[in-house]
Structure 1
């Protein structure tokens, strides 16, 4: 797992973009319609999941087991395990910090979202990452709400980002998220499929994303094979061995 792949994996988790399609007239400062959306967001205290990720771009092709843990609105913890119980990488995101370990190369990174914003050229934060991974709708900013093809279509503007949420009318779950950074054209399409109940709420066990960044396309999938929510505290271990080198990015 290379430095490029670690940054690429983070870009999948943190970047937001938009499918190229004909959109209705854009939301504006005068279209504040927050509160009219019907959605079944997943609510929880702690979440624990095991699954499989795939990652492919021009430089790397990865398929690996993954363990994902969350404390709502506080911590996202990811362990990447290619097989035989061996951990290749670990990531921990908090509200203000980002940590990564590359065990194969004995390297680590400790940074913040300002660093990622400068590298990814998009305004990202913990809440955006959490909502993308969960398939949750975020009420923010100014919105325009439409209904078409059995979907609620909610369009938002957040500074330079154009968000398009498509929520199914049958289960009130997010089916697709498109967000584009209008300042540079970077984009992603995230699709959510295979809805099974977690607690009392349908949850997408399959997530597929396609990222366009600086003209390069990256494909990413996350398939949950086992997922649960609980009020019992989970652990989020993150310690760096003394002989690991701290990563710097050019």
Structure 2
């Protein structure tokens, strides 16, 4: 089982286009749909309004209980995610026994994966993920997915922005990648789907209830469903710790007896 968990991290990071009591947390109630008429023809203003609800941060430290399901093989793990805005994403997966089985560091130009159980590691340029994901996937997209923010490349006037059922829906195409983001009445992203029909790749991200963080809102749970060919990965994370703008570290060292693989 542990071997499957460590393999899951590599797949999770690449296909993404990657204990104690639960603390009490304030949950923000989603307002009912407003009947007020919205000026849908003011696209730049409406896009700016949606972007203004993004969580501002320099660093973000997340910890959560997660369920990893890779082609029907389920494992309950602890995930730690740390981010330095626009520079680095660090992910650690720990088994229930408290043993770290895998670690990853992603930067805008590189990817490092450490498999502790198999004593192997991968060091590649960021474009390595294009063997498994659409070429429109970049560091900014991954950062937005983990932070619950809008995806920068999609928030432009070339996208379609309409109101459906009283909430905003953003959609469009970026190369071969079709995207669609649904916003709730808090003007936060509640669901994003990415599809590349040509490459048979799809990603769906769903966010749970929002909680106040750093004078903004952050999702208290996150679901990621990915498909690449016949490979399916589902990840459900319930965050037990959310910290913004605190000192964080990104430890990553490769033991001498670990083998580098391609």
* Aligned equivalent of 1:167, options 167, 177, 183: 183
Aligned counterpart, 1:240: 254
* Aligned equivalent of 2:209, options 157, 173, 194: 194
* TM-score (normalizing by structure 1): 0.84
* Aligned equivalent of 1:148, options 156, 160, 164: 164
In 2, Cα distance between equivalents of 1:235 and 1:123: 29
CA RMSD of aligned residues (A): 2.2
Instruction: Map 1:1-250; keep pairs closer than 5 Å.
Output: 1-2=3-4, 4-14=7-17, 33-37=43-47, 38-39=49-50, 40-58=53-71, 60-140=73-153, 142-168=158-184, 170-230=185-245, 232-248=246-262
Aligned pairs, number: 231
The structural deviation recorded for 1:14 is 2.0
Q: Helix, strand or coil for the counterpart of 1:128?
A: helix
The structural deviation recorded for 1:201 is 1.1
Which ranges of structure 1 fall in alignment gaps of 5 or more residues? 16-30
Relative to total residues, which structure has the larger helix share, 1 or 2?
2
In 2, Cα distance between equivalents of 1:59 and 1:112: 30
In 1, Cα distance between equivalents of 2:8 and 2:234: 12
* Contact 1:189 1:211 (8 Å CA) reproduced: yes
The structural deviation recorded for 1:4 is 4.2
* Contact 2:15 2:129 (8 Å CA) reproduced: no
In 1, Cα distance between equivalents of 2:7 and 2:236: 18
In 2, Cα distance between equivalents of 1:117 and 1:43: 29
* Contact 1:5 1:60 (8 Å CA) reproduced: no
Q: Helix, strand or coil for the counterpart of 1:184?
A: coil
State the 4+ residue runs in structure 1 displaced beyond 6 angstroms. Answer: none
* Contact 2:140 2:152 (8 Å CA) reproduced: no
* TM-score (normalizing by structure 2): 0.81
Which ranges of structure 2 fall in alignment gaps of 5 or more residues? 19-40
